[in-house]
């Protein structure tokens, strides 16, 4: 199976869909830009341009983050998204669950009950409790989820930020303020309001 993802940079091809998808990847990158920027909302369109990714791709992600209480949409023509709670209270697991929903690592098909020796009528001992194979997969999923829960936007944002020179952040602030001015100017030319 071949899956394709189109971004402004072109076409990515993969032989499979990774469990932690591009939606999660882009969502996390966007959220890291919002850390410490409670007074400087960014629209999903701004974030798409900033990162070279399709605006329609991000436009599908942000409503999920908003529904999960991870971002807030601030109204008005200069509106955009801000983090809905402190960055050290938003884990990677919160973001994965918000974007991916209920997506287990493994789907047990209860193979054990189908054994031909049971003649279509599996006894209670054969199907009681969780299948031993499923139990191992659940342990593996739990370990994965605990690793994701142990990291927050704050901890990873700090690592991200520690590499950048100070003038990078001032360039970013100037860029973000310019985008906010552009949105205000556009709204002056048109009464139509657009979602963040």
Q: Tell me if 66 contacts a second copy by CB under 8 A.
A: no
Contact between 164 and a second copy per CB under 8 A: yes
Report the distance separating Cα 23 and Cα 3, nearest Å.
Answer: 14
Residue 91: strand pairing partners: 152
If binding is defined by CB under 8 A, does position 57 make contact with a second copy?
Answer: no
What phi, psi does 13 have (nearest 5°)? -120, 140
Is residue 143 at the binding interface for a second copy, with CB under 8 A as the rule?
yes
Applying the rule CB under 8 A, the residues between 106 and 125 that interact with a second copy are 106-109, 111-112, 114-117, 125
Q: Residue 99 in contact with residue 65, Cβ under 8 Å? A: yes
Residues that bind a second copy (CB under 8 A): 1, 3, 7, 9, 12, 14, 16-20, 22, 24-26, 28-29, 32, 49-53, 92, 103-109, 111-112, 114-117, 125-126, 128, 132-133, 135-137, 139-148, 151, 156, 159-160, 163-165, 168, 171-172, 175
């Amino acid at each position: 199976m071949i899956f394709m993802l189109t971004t402004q940079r072109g076409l990515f091809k993969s032989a499979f869909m990774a469990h932690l998808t591009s939606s999660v990847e882009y969502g996390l990158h966007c959220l890291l830009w919002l850390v410490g920027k409670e007074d400087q909302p960014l629209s999903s369109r701004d974030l798409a341009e900033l990162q070279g990714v399709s605006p329609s791709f991000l436009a599908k992600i942000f409503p999920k983050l908003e529904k999960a209480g991870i971002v807030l949409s601030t109204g008005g023509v200069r509106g955009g998204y801000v983090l809905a709670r402190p960055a050290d209270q938003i884990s990677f697991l919160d973001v994965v669950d918000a974007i991916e929903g209920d997506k287990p690592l493994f789907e047990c098909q209860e193979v054990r009950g189908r054994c031909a020796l049971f003649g279509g009528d599996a006894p209670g001992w054969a199907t009681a409790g969780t299948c031993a194979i499923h139990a191992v997969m659940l342990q593996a999923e739990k370990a994965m989820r605990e690793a994701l829960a142990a990291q927050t936007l704050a901890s990873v944002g700090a690592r991200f930020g520690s590499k950048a020179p100070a003038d990078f952040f001032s360039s970013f602030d100037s860029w973000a303020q310019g985008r906010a001015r552009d949105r205000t100017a556009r709204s002056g030319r048109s009464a139509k309001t657009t979602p963040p």
